[in-house]
Each structure stands twice: as structure tokens, then as C-alpha cells.
Homo-oligomer: A and B are copies of this chain.
């Protein structure tokens, strides 16, 4: 029996994307760049996390960002900090893919970058299906979204290398069962690196910065050093 045509087409798309993601990865590795793929719901704090991270680390490493968006609102906010930042105009698409990242690479001087922050489209579903060639999937959940999100968007939480729970300052004003949230995450992704943070108050962010410092250090130590985070999808 032949396979359904829909499945075939989907597999072809994914395999083409995987090949392009491998190309991105090879270019990043050749230049010694550590790159992360930031994924979250709209408004969970992707841009806030990038802004905080740039402020904290820009004097100790060379940073750059790419932002998948339809308008350059976030790009302008990031550019204020004087780091290279490129818009990938998604044209309303629901996720970044490896081909879009490849199109942005020639506009960046990879040899002059230690850490590349890729801001995906605000969406807890579609981005989980497309490798970008980055080294780690960073998922940001946020307290106002509610504690049931791992149960309702399992693919995103399953594919994460690091999970940040942002807006923990809202725990004071909102019902949110952190243990229920954590149990949902652990059932999908045991032992996942987890940072509860507030990009507004700065609480908890030092542990996140330290994780990034460590990844960049290992990357610089060369391919012999085992990366803690490897894109697992």
C-alpha cells in the first residue's frame, strides 16, 4: 500500500527543512557561534528576555539577534543596545524555518558573534515542528498564561532544552500552582533545565545568564567540549 500523499508531502517538507537546519548549524559551528531559538506564546516575554540578556552580557561577549516578525517593533527595541539585529519578515507566517534563518545569515558577521539570539514567532505550536539549526530550544512560559500550558501544548515543552517561567512577580496576584505546572513539564521532559524568572524585576535571571555563559565558554573550548544543550528535535 502506498503512503497517503499528505504524509508524504509533509515528510518531504520536514526533511528539506532538516537539511537546511544542518547547513545553518555547520555555518554557526564553523564560526564558533552559540545560537538559541527563543519560543513562546505572544506576550510571554521573548523580547523582554532578549533585552535583559543583552544588557547583562553585552560587555562580556559579542551578541547579535534575529527576530521573526511582521513589523520591526522588537528589532528597534533591541537595536537601541547597539548590537547587530536583523528582522526576518515572516509575512504573517506562524513560525520560523531554517530557510528563513539562512536568508538572514549573510547580513550578520558570524565571525564577530559569540551568542546569537533567534526570536521565533509568538506561537506555542508550529515553531516546535521546525528545527532552525540553533544549538538550544529555549521555551518561555509565563505566569499569566496559567499553570496548565504543558498539558495543552505538549510538543513545545517536550522539545525544550531550557524552560523559563517568566513573570513570577505575578505569582503574588494570580492563582498559579507551580507544582502542577512542574509535574506537567516533568512528565514530558524529565530533568529539563528550569529557570523561574521575572524580566520585569530581574529576579532569577542571574542563573539564566550563567547558563548562557557556560554554553558560550564550552563552544569556544571547541568541538571536543560536550555541549550541555543539543537541539533534540
With the chains together, A202 CA to B94 CA distance in Å?
Answer: 33
Determine the residue in chain B with the shortest Cβ distance to A148.
B73
Nearest Cβ in chain B — how far from A38, in angstroms? Answer: 15
Which B residues touch A155, using CB under 8 A?
Answer: 92
Determine the residue in chain B with the shortest Cβ distance to A92.
B155
Q: Please state if A42 and B94 are interface contacts (CB–CB under 8 Å).
A: no
Q: Please state if A43 and B73 are interface contacts (CB–CB under 8 Å).
A: no
Nearest Cβ in chain B — how far from A128, in angstroms? Answer: 9
Nearest Cβ in chain B — how far from A86, in angstroms? Answer: 17
Q: Report the stretch among A53-61, A100-108, A116-124, A130-138 that lies at the interface.
A: A116-124
Q: Please state if A144 and B167 are interface contacts (CB–CB under 8 Å).
A: yes
Determine the residue in chain B with the shortest Cβ distance to A93.
B125
With the chains together, A210 CA to B42 CA distance in Å?
Answer: 29
Q: Please state if B122 and A152 are interface contacts (CB–CB under 8 Å).
A: yes
A146 within 8 Å of B (CB atoms): yes
Which B residues touch A170, using CB under 8 A?
Answer: 144, 173
A209 within 8 Å of B (CB atoms): no
**Pick the contact of A122 from B94, B153, B154, B167 — CB < 8 Å?**
B153
Residues from 56 to 78 in A contacting B, C-beta threshold 8 Å: 69-71, 73
A142 within 8 Å of B (CB atoms): yes
Contact flags (1/0) for A140-158 with B, using CB distance below 8 Å?
Answer: 0010111011011111000
Q: Please state if B70 and A122 are interface contacts (CB–CB under 8 Å).
A: no
With the chains together, A123 CA to B93 CA distance in Å?
Answer: 12
Which B residues touch A145, using CB under 8 A?
Answer: 41-43, 144
Nearest Cβ in chain B — how far from A6, in angstroms? Answer: 10
A126 within 8 Å of B (CB atoms): yes
List the 3 closest A-B pairs by CB distance, nearest first.
A43-B145, A144-B144, A94-B125
Known: A73-B152, A121-B125, A144-B167. 12 other contacts (CB 8 A): A41-B41, A41-B145, A42-B153, A70-B152, A73-B151, A92-B154, A92-B155, A94-B94, A94-B126, A142-B144, A144-B144, A170-B173
